[in-house]
């Protein structure tokens, strides 16, 4: 009975769906696809598909420089969509910074597209505090989130030298380079 009271007590605090629904949503947001079926599920829930040309992104980065996805043509690229109000996205910033150092001897590039949920200054402070060492673009109008069909963050896309999407991943993942086969993209 104590267990039931604990669950139902939390249910009231978490709203109509209840605490169990919250736990399920949390598990779905943080679960990494570990097999082909899970990868297909990621693809079926997005606008973009593996094997298609990546939608263009043209804007200004957080340093005030012109940014164009097309300018990365000829280099492999990881694009991570995230939010400053997402804890897993903060962990991804640290992971991507680690990968940027690991792959510094290559032409692999890293970009994060931050949502427009908070003002630009807060976005800049967030990435500065975490020591981000890669290009960051703020999608103030959610244009690129929409073009890529991003509904959940963090959401990552790897793009090959020809601008073709090679892999996608939803959620946080350590050792992302192995999960998304960075070495294969460098060949």
How many residues are listed for the chain in this entry? 187
Judge if 23 and 111 occupy the same domain.
no
CA atoms within 13 A on the CB side of 45: 16
The sheet with strand 109-115 has its strands ordered as: 135-139, 109-115, 77-82, 155-159, 165-170
Distance CA 96, CA 177 (A): 9
Judge if 70 and 127 occupy the same domain.
yes
**Range list of H helices, the chain:** 2-14, 18-30, 36-44, 87-102, 120-129, 143-148, 176-179, 182-186
Judge if 106 and 123 occupy the same domain.
yes
Distance CA 151, CA 55 (A): 16
| pLDDT given at position 44 | 56
Least confident of 38-42, 64-68, 115-119: 38-42
Judge if 171 and 89 occupy the same domain.
yes
Predicted structure pTM score: 0.75
Break the chain down into helix, strand, coil percent, rounded to 5. Answer: 45, 20, 35
Tell me the residue range of the domain where 113 lies: 34-186
**Range list of H helices, 45-107:** 87-102
Judge if 174 and 143 occupy the same domain.
yes
Q: What is the pLDDT of residues 42-72, one digit of tens each?
A: 555 567 899 999 999 999 999 999 999 999 9
Given a contact cutoff of 8 angstroms between Cβ atoms, the answer to whether 40 and 31 are in contact is no
Q: How many helices (H) and strands (E) does the chain have?
A: 8, 7
Judge if 22 and 72 occupy the same domain.
no
- How confident is the prediction for the chain on average, in pLDDT? 80
Q: What is the pLDDT of residues 133-166, one digit of tens each?
A: 999 999 999 999 999 999 899 999 999 999 999 9
Q: Which residues pair with 81 in a beta bridge?
A: 113, 155
Judge if 109 and 174 occupy the same domain.
yes
């Amino acid at each position: 009975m104590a267990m039931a009271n604990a669950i139902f007590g939390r249910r009231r605090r978490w709203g109509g769906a209840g605490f169990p629904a919250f736990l399920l949503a949390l598990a779905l947001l943080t679960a990494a696809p570990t097999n082909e079926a899970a990868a297909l599920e990621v693809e079926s829930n997005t606008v973009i598909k593996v094997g298609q040309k990546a939608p263009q992104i043209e804007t200004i980065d957080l340093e005030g420089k012109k940014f164009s996805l097309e300018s990365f043509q000829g280099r492999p690229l990881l694009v991570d969509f995230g939010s400053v109000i997402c804890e897993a996205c903060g962990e991804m910033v640290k992971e991507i910074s680690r990968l940027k150092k690991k792959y510094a001897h290559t032409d692999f590039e890293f970009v994060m597209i931050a949502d427009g949920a908070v003002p630009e200054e807060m976005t800049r402070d967030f990435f500065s505090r975490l020591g981000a060492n890669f290009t960051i673009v703020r999608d103030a109008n959610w244009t690129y989130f929409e073009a890529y069909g991003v509904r959940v963050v963090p959401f990552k896309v790897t793009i090959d030298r020809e601008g073709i999407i090679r892999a996608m991943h939803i959620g946080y993942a350590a050792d992302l380079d192995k999960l998304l086969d960075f070495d294969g993209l460098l060949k």
